[in-house]
Every structure is written in C-alpha cells, then in structure tokens.
Amino acid sequence: MSSGDGQQSQALTKPTFSEVQASAIVESVFGLKVSKIQPLPSYDDQNFHVYISRTKDTTDGPSECVLKINNTESSKTPDLIEVQSHIMMFLRAAGFPTASVYRTKGDHITSLTSVDSGSEIKSYLVRLLTYLPGRPIAEIPISSQLLYEIGRLAAKLDKTLENFHHPQLSSLHRENFIWNLKNVPLLEKYLYALGQNRKREIVEQVIQLFKDEVMTKLSHFRECINHGDLNDHNILIESSKSACGDAVYQVSGILDFDDMSYGYYVFEVAITIMYMMIESKTPIQVGGHVLAGFESVIPLTPAEKGALFLLVCSRFCQSLVLAAYSCHLYPENEEYLMITAKTGWRHLQQMFDMGQKAVEEIWFETAKSYEPGISM
C-alpha cells in the first residue's frame, strides 16, 4: 500500500485504466491474448486479475495473471520497482510462495505506458505477475499455530534477503518513505485528516513517545531489508484436511512488495503483529504467538524487545492516519482504504489503556511458552 517517497500520494496519481485498456496493455506489451479481466482491490495502484487464452503459441505461459499498474509517483522510481521485482523472483527461487514476473515482448520485467489525459501525458509502470492461489488470511479464524507460522515466515523472509544482491539495492534506502516505521514523525503533517478528537490525541502521544524512546535507540537495532507490509490481505492461505479431519492451513502466497525498504528486524515483527491483530477476537494475545515464531528464527535483543510495544502502536497510527488522509483523496475507494480502521482504533485504544508493561507481560509470557521444555 505504498506511494512515492517523500510524501503520500497526491490527487489523480492513482491509475484509472478501464478493463478494455488493461486488456490492450496485456496484449500489446506482453503478447498474451486476454479471455477475461477483472479489477482487484488496491490502495493507490491499480491491479487486474487477468485470464489468458490458451493458444498453440502460449501453452507454456501463465493461465492467470495479475496486471499491476503503478501510480504516477512510484512510476518515477523504476530502479526501485525493478529491485522489488527481482526480490520476488529471488524469494521464489528460495522456496517462498511469491509471484513470478512475466517478461514483456522485449524481454523486460517492466514497461512504461503513457496516457494522454487531455491536459498532460501521464506515465505508468506496468508489470505482469503470476496469479497466486488462496484466500487472504483476513477471511479465516486464525489459530495460534498459524500466527506462530506467520511470525516464523516473516523472520525467514528477512533472513533470506541478507543474501540478496542487486546493482540498484541502494534504492531501498527510502529516507522519507512514509510507510517506513522509522518515519512515524512524518505523520504529523497528515493529522488534520483526523479532525480534533481523542483519536488524534492518542496519535500525537504515540508520535511523541516514538521520538523520545524509539528514535534515540535506532542505532541499537539490527538493520535488514523489510517486506514492510505483511498484512492480513497480503498473506494468502490454502486449507487441507488433517488425518483427523480438521482444516490445516498453510501459506500459499505473499503479496505486495511495494513497501519494501531498509529497516530493522524488529520493524518486521512489529508490523506483522499489528496486522494480525486486526481481525482477531483476542487481539492482545496475538503478539506473543507471532513473536515466538519470529524468534524461533531471529531472537530479538533486549533493546529491540523493549521497543516492540511502541512500534506496534506506531504502525497502527501509520495505517489509521494515512487511511483517513487517503479517503480525502480517493473517497470512491473508502471501503478498501478503511479496512484497518474498522477495528484498528479500538485495538490501539486497548493497548494504550492497558499500558506497555501489561501488554508486554502477555506477549513475552506467551512467547516463552513455546520454548522447549515448557508446556503450552
């Protein structure tokens, strides 16, 4: 759910291609015949689910794809989008369920498409990705075991990316990227979207605590490449039956690498905890299970664990403030933009009311219960 660096998306940067136009892109740029195309929900880019007609010349190609059209701001950073695309391919080769990138007729992984809007010509980067099976994790009751597995997945992803190399890797140093947790203070310029109320007061308190207690400790955190958006709609799952007939879920897809940037291990687990809380009926319990899974791969340092509560609160603030702001820009997309807000404000308020010590006690005791020799 990203936009260009420096500031959140500006009005009219979101693509508004029709299904006919999107089909024409698939056929002209990628050389594939479209049999059916449907829009997919998106934040400030545009996505289409594309069904490809099989011919004798395309028997080896994809049968279902996702056409991804970046907004005009992110389309100005082709190096960054190329790195993100190569990361998806790198992770797929390492065994992660990420999409493959389908090459253009000219053997590139992206193509720049220009549209004359009447007053100006706008350019959009387009990519074609393989369609991944499964349902968003938001649609199922999530068990403690699945939370553990998602925490473990987040850590394995960051750990694997330690071995990723690319000539444009420095493009992931996105200094003013609004979705990087390091940039929580940048939210101040968007607070007006909340109006004057208790919600705004809580966000202002979190931002101040972040400045005082997190910004001063960043040098003590271990740096890495973050996916940065492992939310409950970006993780797909498929079910199978266990020997006793119960449904067993496994991750079948990891979506949306647009928020990737250099961050810290503790950022990834904080972001994952926050998003796994969204649909949970017992949100405060979630953190311990995710943390246990993450620490089974990458144990956190005392400094990192000490910042976790504030980082989770800070991610709630990022998501809630920027959703409110984006609704001013794209009121027609309010239903998708406000997914987090449906429960997010309540969860943030609950964490704030309980306080750091009480929440940490639940998280850390739950995580400890996963250690060998301790009964769960």
- Is 68 a domain residue? yes
> Can you tell me the distance from the alpha carbon of 89 to that of 93, in angstroms, rounded to the nearest whole number?
6
- Is 7 a domain residue? no
CB 115 within 8 A of CB 121: yes
> Can you tell me the distance from the alpha carbon of 174 to that of 262, in angstroms, rounded to the nearest whole number?
7
- Is 352 a domain residue? yes
What's the start-to-end Cα distance of the chain, in Å? Answer: 36
Question: What would the pLDDT profile of 251-300 be if each residue is shown by its tens digit?
Answer: 999 999 999 999 999 999 999 999 999 989 999 999 999 999 999 999 99
CB 86 within 8 A of CB 166: yes
- Is 9 a domain residue? no
Please tell me the predicted confidence (pLDDT) of residue 331.
66
- Is 6 a domain residue? no
Q: Are residues 147 and 275 in the same domain?
A: yes
Please tell me the predicted confidence (pLDDT) of residue 3.
40
Q: What is the CA radius of gyration of the chain?
A: 21
- Is 165 a domain residue? yes
Listed residues 103, 130, 157: the one ending a domain: 130
Q: Are residues 146 and 123 in the same domain?
A: no
Q: Are residues 143 and 78 in the same domain?
A: no
Q: Give the CATH number of the domain where residue 32 resides.
A: 3.30.200.20
- Residues with a known catalytic role: 229
CB 275 within 8 A of CB 230: yes
Listed residues 112, 130, 148: the one ending a domain: 130
Torsion of CA 118, 123, 128, 129, to 10 degrees: -120
* Average pLDDT of the chain to the nearest whole number: 90
Question: What is the tally of structural domains in the chain?
Answer: 2
- Is 273 a domain residue? yes
Q: Are residues 356 and 229 in the same domain?
A: yes
Q: Are residues 311 and 351 in the same domain?
A: yes
Two structure tokens written together for 343: 């429960």
Q: Are residues 58 and 207 in the same domain?
A: no
Please tell me the predicted confidence (pLDDT) of residue 90.
98
Q: Are residues 80 and 170 in the same domain?
A: no
Q: Are residues 353 and 254 in the same domain?
A: yes
Q: Are residues 229 and 362 in the same domain?
A: yes
Q: Are residues 151 and 35 in the same domain?
A: no
Q: Give the CATH number of the domain where residue 342 resides.
A: 3.90.1200.10
Q: Domain range spanning residue 201?
A: 135-369
Q: Are residues 109 and 164 in the same domain?
A: no
Q: Are residues 356 and 248 in the same domain?
A: yes
Low pLDDT (below 50) residues in the chain = 2-12, 375-376
Reported pTM: 0.90
Residue that has been written with the tokens 């955190």 in this structure: 221
- Is 362 a domain residue? yes
Question: What would the pLDDT profile of 108-133 be if each residue is shown by its tens digit?
Answer: 999 999 888 777 889 999 999 999 99
Listed residues 110, 130, 150: the one ending a domain: 130
